[in-house]
Amino acid sequence: MARQAGACIHHVSLQGKGYAVSRMFADIDADFYILADGDATYEAEAAPKMLQLAQSERLDMITGIRVTDRKAAYRPGHVLGNRILAGCVAIIFGNHISDLLSGYRVLSKRLRQIVPDHSTWV
């Protein structure tokens, strides 16, 4: 489906989102990047709004949240981990992010430039 819509598909032999993001940053030069996990737990319709917000507010990252009735979107261990991490971020940085582990993000070129190559930060 993505290929039919004109997307370029690259396969990364190493497992993990961090390796895929590193490959994306190495292969693609763009002002913004949109990431979405392939598990259909994100609303694709939100991507243009997320991108517009990132552009207009000059944001380096926007994290989308999962909006779904499927229990598979939030496994029990992930729910607890998400709450603990989100609480730590809120305490340390003063920002509340309800779905810190979300795989739906808009990333800026500026963020790409400060993230080291071959990192597994996402």
**Has residue 2 been placed in a domain?**
no
The alpha-helical segments, DSSP class H, found in 6-97 are 17-27, 47-57, 76-93
pLDDT at position 120: 52
Asked if residue 37 lies in contact with residue 44, where contact means CB atoms within 8 angstroms, the answer is no
The domain tally of the chain equals 1
pTM: 0.76
Distances (CA, A) of 94 to 19, 29, 86, 88, 89: 29, 32, 10, 9, 7
At 105 the three-state DSSP class reads: strand
**Has residue 1 been placed in a domain?**
no
pLDDT at position 46: 93
**Has residue 120 been placed in a domain?**
no
Asked if residue 102 lies in contact with residue 64, where contact means CB atoms within 8 angstroms, the answer is yes
Strand partners for 108: 32
pLDDT at position 108: 96
Expressed as residue numbers, the domain containing 88 is 17-114
**Has residue 5 been placed in a domain?**
no
**Has residue 53 been placed in a domain?**
yes
pLDDT at position 50: 96
What's the CA gap between 19 and 118, in Å, rounded? 7
pLDDT at position 107: 95
Low-confidence ranges of the chain (pLDDT < 50): 121-122
Q: Of 92, 115, 98, 105, which Cα lies nearest the Cα of 34? A: 105
